[in-house]
């Protein structure tokens, strides 16, 4: 599906061109709450849409639940909108994608579509995605995160890729450092996971490697508030999003969702918490545990290419570099400090892991191996 991009400082004004192109008379705005105001998006969009009928939907949580999406779906169905504009982080854009696609489907049993995306037959309205954090890359993907009964699901369909993307780094300037840090590690994790994914392609690896190199150069100074680095991070996050749009994510992302749900950790922080261990897991393996059909030599070579991007020579050095980076940008890298202390805590996390994402990891993972991650740093 074709996607039109507007990238650059001040390009939020491209909304005017999109309104004209789509001939939109009624717009549904899907936004965060206070964040929508704090990032200066509201003041600018209010001016742009002053002569357009607009309604706003922001009644959902950081980890979007299907039950909250129902409210947005009802709103979308009850008013004949022409355009949906999502302004915010990953949860906002994911929610907009979810309600936009599900509102047009014929069956009212929404869980059916979450469990079986082949049932999706109708396109949604034209969708504009405007990220305000440099992290999730949701604006570049054809899937969304949605929780059903505290279990994370991926709703995926090619119709869900936003039609328009506006990447205006100015909207990220006012983010608190810890959000910039966690969002940046999310983007870096996506790029790394995409690079070693069993679904990787020449194109996805090119996108992922570009993202990794940019992030490693810019993340620390972006967290410190450097505007040039924030602009670089916004581009890198979009590249990482394009990479996972091809490959999807792997084990660290699968493990992160129950950590976020049960231990209230910001998503990017939760992913980064375990990813460092996978430099060793995906390099030191038995041949019988290889999932990637390209074979063990290919996987080891891929990992060595990643070590080179991090300017290290071994899996242990890469793991150390990963956690030093987390510490440098203010993200606690100690699993025990997060509150995962007991066998019961560990089992709670492992039981909530999305098994499909484990299949994307190049090396097979056992419950024993997962438990080892949480038993030591």
Summarize the confidence of residues 159-185 as an average pLDDT. Answer: 95
Summarize the confidence of residues 219-247 as an average pLDDT. Answer: 96
pLDDT for residue 87: 97
pLDDT for residue 375: 79
Q: List pLDDT tens digits, range 213-226.
A: 999 999 999 999 99
Q: Which residue has the higher pLDDT, 178 or 60?
A: 178
pLDDT for residue 115: 86
Whether 149 shows a pLDDT value over 60: the answer reads yes
Q: How confident is the model at residue 124 (pLDDT cuts 50, 70, 90)?
A: very high
Nearest residue to 29 (alpha-carbon basis) of 104, 119, 99: 99
CA quadruple 318, 320, 326, 332: dihedral sign: positive
CA distances to 136, 262, 326 from 92, rounded to whole Å, are 11, 21, 25
Summarize the confidence of residues 296-321 as an average pLDDT. Answer: 98
CATH 3.40.1800.10 fits 4-172, yes or no: no
Share of the chain above pLDDT 90, in %: 76
Q: CA 360 to CA 367: how far, in whole Å?
A: 16
210 in helix, strand or coil?
helix
pLDDT for residue 63: 77
Q: CA 324 to CA 333: how far, in whole Å?
A: 9
pLDDT for residue 221: 97
Residue with tokens 């008013």: 79
Q: List pLDDT tens digits, range 191-200.
A: 999 999 999 9
Overall CATH class of domain 177-375:
mainly alpha
Record the tokens describing residue 46, joined without a space.
């209010």
Q: How confident is the model at residue 154 (pLDDT cuts 50, 70, 90)?
A: confident
Which residue ranges make up each domain of the chain?
Answer: 4-172, 177-375
Summarize the confidence of residues 238-261 as an average pLDDT. Answer: 94
Strands (E), the chain: 4-7, 26-31, 53-57, 83-88, 127-131, 143-148, 151-156, 164-167
Range in 52-66, 84-98, 230-244, 246-260 the model is least confident about: 52-66
Q: CA 195 to CA 167: how far, in whole Å?
A: 23
CA distances to 29, 68, 96, 254 from 33, rounded to whole Å, are 12, 15, 14, 27
Whether 357 shows a pLDDT value over 60: the answer reads yes
- Centre a 10 Å sphere on the Cβ of residue 369 and count the other Cβ atoms it contains: 14
Summarize the confidence of residues 30-58 as an average pLDDT. Answer: 94
Whether 362 shows a pLDDT value over 90: the answer reads yes
Q: CA 191 to CA 215: how far, in whole Å?
A: 10
Q: List pLDDT tens digits, range 125-142.
A: 999 999 998 888 899 999
pLDDT for residue 1: 63
Torsion angle of alpha carbons 311, 370, 247, 231, nearest 10°? -50
Nearest residue to 32 (alpha-carbon basis) of 8, 2, 64: 64
């Amino acid at each position: 599906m074709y996607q039109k991009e507007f990238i650059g400082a001040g390009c939020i004004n491209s909304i005017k061109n999109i309104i004209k192109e789509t001939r939109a008379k009624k717009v549904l705005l899907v936004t965060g709450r206070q964040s929508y105001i704090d990032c200066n998006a509201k003041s600018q969009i209010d001016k742009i849409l002053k002569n357009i009928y607009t309604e706003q939907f922001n009644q959902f949580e950081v980890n979007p639940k299907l039950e909250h999406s129902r409210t947005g779906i009802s709103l979308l169905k009850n008013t004949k909108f022409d355009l949906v504009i999502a302004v915010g982080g990953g949860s906002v854009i994911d929610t907009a994608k979810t309600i936009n696609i599900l509102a047009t489907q014929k069956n009212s049993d929404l869980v059916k579509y979450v469990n079986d995306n082949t049932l999706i037959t109708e396109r949604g309205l034209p969708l504009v995605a405007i990220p305000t954090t440099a992290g999730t890359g949701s604006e570049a993907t054809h899937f969304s995160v949605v929780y059903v009964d505290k279990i994370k699901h991926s709703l995926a369909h090619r119709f869900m890729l936003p039609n328009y993307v506006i990447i205006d780094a100015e909207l990220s300037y006012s983010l608190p450092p810890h959000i910039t840090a966690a969002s940046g590690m999310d983007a870096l994790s996506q790029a790394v996971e995409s690079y070693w994914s069993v679904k990787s392609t020449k194109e996805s690896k090119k996108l992922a490697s570009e993202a990794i190199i940019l992030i490693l150069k810019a993340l620390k100074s972006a967290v410190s508030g450097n505007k040039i680095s924030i602009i670089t991070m916004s581009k890198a996050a979009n590249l990482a999003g394009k990479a996972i749009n091809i490959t999807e994510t792997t084990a660290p992302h699968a493990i992160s969702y129950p950590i976020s749900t049960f231990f209230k950790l910001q998503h990017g922080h939760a992913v980064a918490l375990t990813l460092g261990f996978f430099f060793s897991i995906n390099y030191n393996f038995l041949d019988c545990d290889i999932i990637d059909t390209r074979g063990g030599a290919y996987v080891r070579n891929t990992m060595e290419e990643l070590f080179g991007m991090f300017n290290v020579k071994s899996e242990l050095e890469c793991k150390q570099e990963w956690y030093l980076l987390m510490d440098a940008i203010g993200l606690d890298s100690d699993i025990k400090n997060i509150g995962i202390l007991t066998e019961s805590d560990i089992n709670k996390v492992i039981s909530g892991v999305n098994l499909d994402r484990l299949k994307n990891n190049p090396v097979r993972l056992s419950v024993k191996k997962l438990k080892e991650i949480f038993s030591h740093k």
